[in-house]
Amino acid sequence: MKYLLGLALLITSSTSALSFEWRSSPSSNTQALESYAFDQDAKFQTDALVVIKGDEIIFEKYAHGFTQAKPHLLWSVSKSFASAMIGMAIADGKFSLETLASTLEPRLNRKLADKITVRHLLQMSSGLDWNEGYEGNPLKSNVVPMLYLEGQENMARYTANIDMGYTPGERFNYSSGESNLMCHLLRQALGDDELYHNYPWEHLFNPLGITSATWERDGSANFVCSSYLYMTPRDAARFGKLYANNGRWEGQQLLSSEWIKKTGEIAPAFLKTQLKGFADRESYGLQWWLNRELPAKKLPRPFPSAPESTLLAEGHHGQMIVVFPELEAVIVRVGEDKKESIDKDTLFKLSLELIKKHQVQAESL
């Protein structure tokens, strides 16, 4: 990763004009949540956990050298931020969900690829024959050469040159390449590199008061929208709160409620695709994971302790922003979990118990 960092251009955010600050209101009886999330004997490592209810931080703990002020790599949580940018660009009329990707990326002007739309990329159903394997299958992986080898000079170009394996819209296939291609389309649609490079800050980070963000770019100055966004957990919680509040922030509709609604709708291709094991249960929206029951597959929701409306921005090694819209609550967890050993449902159950207790206490005052 050091080589990529050496090539990447880094950009950090300026101070927001808005003055929103979290209120610290620690809950009591946090021992069960803390013991599980920060278990020293567990096969996973939690670097930070923040639990938000409304405008209040009701639980916050850091470990392994991380503090409130230290940004953390979010890995694929970056995709959900990219989705928000695409939603804003669509609201601004830069393109639409049905815009053909080939109109903005000529390398896709070939059989089948010329049918890929912005919607297909958002829903991971472009039909590109992509292999997302990391440690488990590095020799056949596409994501490894894209991020670290021949693809790092221009990750969108690398992705656009992948052969087609399926008709667009017919098969769900998780692909970091599609997220990077999607952000390249945004750059082309904006038609101005300065606008593109400032876009996340002007439209998302600054209005939310996110001041810790760093988003790496590839050798062609495209944002690595798949993987390389860094920020503090408190700032990540601001993004979660935007979704918990149906796109509104401090009285301003930053992201349309219609986009939030679409984010929570299952990608049709997911319902057509049979995946292995638990992956078949955790459905997908617009670069967010969902907690929906799947009658078409005769499967229950993947995390029974969490509401069906839950939205999950998830990344490699267990990075996550989890949004509970009905409760106006957010969890941010960052750390290391190479073997995916953390039980997310247990983490959600313990966090939700704390959230609901806090709500009851607040209502009794």
Write out pLDDT tens, residues 289-346: 999 999 999 999 999 999 999 999 999 999 999 999 999 999 999 999 999 999 999 9
Q: Which residue in the block uniquely carries the two structure tokens 């292995």?
A: 276
Q: Give 72's strand partners.
A: 231
- Which residues touch 144 (CB under 8 Å, ≥6 apart)? 133, 134, 138
Quote the CA–CA distance of 83 and 252 in Å, as a whole number. Answer: 19
Question: What's the full length of the chain, in residues?
Answer: 365
Residue type for position 147: L
Question: Contact at 8 Å (CB) between 119 and 259?
Answer: no
CATH superfamily of 2-364: DD-peptidase/beta-lactamase superfamily (3.40.710.10)
Sheet holding 229-231, edge to edge: 72-73, 229-231, 214-215
> pLDDT 10s digit of each residue in the chain, 365 long?
333 433 334 444 444 445 899 999 999 889 999 999 999 999 999 999 999 999 999 999 999 999 999 999 999 999 999 999 999 999 999 999 999 999 999 999 999 999 999 999 999 999 999 999 876 677 789 999 999 999 999 999 999 999 999 999 999 999 999 999 999 999 999 999 999 999 999 999 999 999 999 999 999 999 999 999 999 999 999 999 999 999 999 999 999 999 999 999 999 999 999 999 999 999 999 999 999 999 999 999 999 999 999 999 999 999 999 999 999 999 999 999 999 999 999 999 999 999 999 999 888 87
Q: Which residue in the block uniquely carries the two structure tokens 């488990």?
A: 136
CA–centroid distance for 25 within its chain? 27
- Residues of 280-294 as b/e, b for ≥16 C-beta within 10 angstroms? bbbbbbbbbbbbbeb
Reading the block at residue 169, the tokens are 């819209």
- Report which of 335, 330, 337, 296 is spatially closest to residue 311, judged by C-alpha positions: 330
Quote the CA–CA distance of 354 and 53 in Å, as a whole number. Answer: 10
Quote the CA–CA distance of 290 and 293 in Å, as a whole number. Answer: 9
Q: Where in the chain are the domains?
A: 2-364
- Report which of 202, 21, 222 is spatially closest to residue 213, judged by C-alpha positions: 202
Reading the block at residue 214, the tokens are 């760093």
Alpha helices for the chain (secondary structure H): 2-7, 31-37, 77-91, 118-122, 143-148, 155-160, 176-190, 193-200, 206-208, 233-244, 257-263, 268-272, 344-364
SS3 content of the chain, % helix, strand, coil (to 5): 40, 15, 40
pLDDT tens for each residue of 10-34 = 444 444 445 899 999 999 889 999 9
- What's the burial of 364, exposed, middle or buried (CB within 10 Å: 0-12/13-18/19+)? exposed
Instruction: Kindly provide the residue ranges of all beta strands, DSSP E only, lying in 237-358, ordered along the sequence.
Output: 248-249, 252-253, 289-290, 311-315, 319-324, 329-336
pTM score, whole prediction:
0.95
- Report which of 330, 343, 332 is spatially closest to residue 53, judged by C-alpha positions: 330
CA–centroid distance for 194 within its chain? 24
